[in-house]
Every structure is written in structure tokens, then in C-alpha cells.
Amino acid sequence: MQKHCFKATVLVVISAISAALLQTSAGAASPFRTLHGSWSGSGNVQFEGGQTERLRCTAHYRDMGGGEALGLAIRCASASNRIEIRGRLNYNDGRVTGTWEERTFNASGTAAGRASDSRISLRLAGTVSGSMNVTVSRSSQSVAINTQGTALRAVRIGLRRR
């Protein structure tokens, strides 16, 4: 059960991170450009019943389509799990949409929401349903995820540009 929860957590984190990064320049012609490169960080995942596990992640972002589309590859690990997520996000006039897949557990889903100057708010659907809020600056990100209908309850992660 924790492997499924961890997978869901990582998927949500990846979507949140990607969405948060693209918001840093929402008024610019190409908001994803600030995301290009590598990020890393840590945080915690909380399961039903209050159990927590430490989480370490690395994220890599690349331009796919002149700055309006972003490719992402994220790897996260805890003491008991490893996750590899790939995805693509699109940005258009303050709106973020995208798809993701988790290759270790063969899961997939969508993310959709709004972006403002330094905050992203997303709805998640697919393997996990929930919400994600991301606060971002040029050199760091703070991700908060809450889920429903799964043993995974919350994820809190901080990432810094490498």
C-alpha cells in the first residue's frame, strides 16, 4: 500500500513542481524558460494514520515547443520506494494543463489549474485525486499536496536550483 501511496505522492509532486516553475514568469512570452535545468530537494510524505517518510527528489526540465511546453523528468526516493515520472506541461494565458506518467508503477493522469506571479494551484486527476499548491521564486520552490481517497494524505517538499 505504501508503494502505491509513494507513487501517487511523487506524481503529485512532479506536477506541482513543474507547474510552480513555469509560473515564475507568467507575463513573459515563454514562462517555461525559467524552469530549464536541474533542481533537487527534500521533504516528507504523510500517510493515513500519521506515518511519515522522508523524501528526496531531483527534477530536470527542458523546453519542448518554443517555451510554451515543458518536458519534465523527476526521480524521488524514500527509504522504501523509488519513483520515475515523465511529463509534459502546457502554459497558455495563466492556465496550466498537462499529462504525466510514472514508469515504475505504470500510472498516469492529468493536472489542470491556474498560475499567478508566484503561486500555482492545480487539480489532480488520474491515479490520485487532490489539490496542489506551489509557491515559487527563481531559486526555490515550496510544494504542498493534499489527496483524497488514498492512504497518502499529504506531501511537503522544498526544491532548490542546482
Domain spans in the chain, listed from the N-terminal domain onward: 2-161
Confidence of residue 40 (pLDDT cuts 50, 70, 90): very high
In 23-156, which ranges are continuous DSSP H helix? none
Mean pLDDT of 78-101: 84
Note if the pTM is more than 0.85: no
Q: What is the CATH number of domain 2-161?
A: 2.40.128.20
Q: E strands along 1-151, which residues?
A: 37-47, 52-63, 69-77, 82-92, 95-102, 107-115, 119-126, 129-136, 140-148
Tell whether the model's pLDDT for residue 25 goes beyond 50. no
Check residue 19 and give its pLDDT. 45
Whether 159 has a pLDDT exceeding 80, the answer reads yes
Q: Which three cell numbers stand for residue 40?
A: 533537487
Cβ-Cβ contacts under 8 Å for 104 (sequence gap 6 or more): 7, 82, 83, 84
Cell of 127: 491515479
Indicate if the pLDDT at residue 148 is higher than 50: yes
Q: Check residue 160 and give its pLDDT.
A: 96
How confident is the model at residue 27, as a pLDDT? 45
Q: What is the pLDDT of residues 44-87, one digit of tens each?
A: 888 889 989 999 998 888 988 776 788 888 888 888 877 788 88
Residue 41 pLDDT class (50, 70, 90 cuts): very high
When comparing pLDDT for 9 and 40, which is higher? 40
pLDDT of residue 90: 85
Sign, CA dihedral 22-26-32-34, equals negative
Cβ atoms < 10 Å from Cβ of 153: 20
Candidates 47, 55, 19; CA nearest to 158 is 55
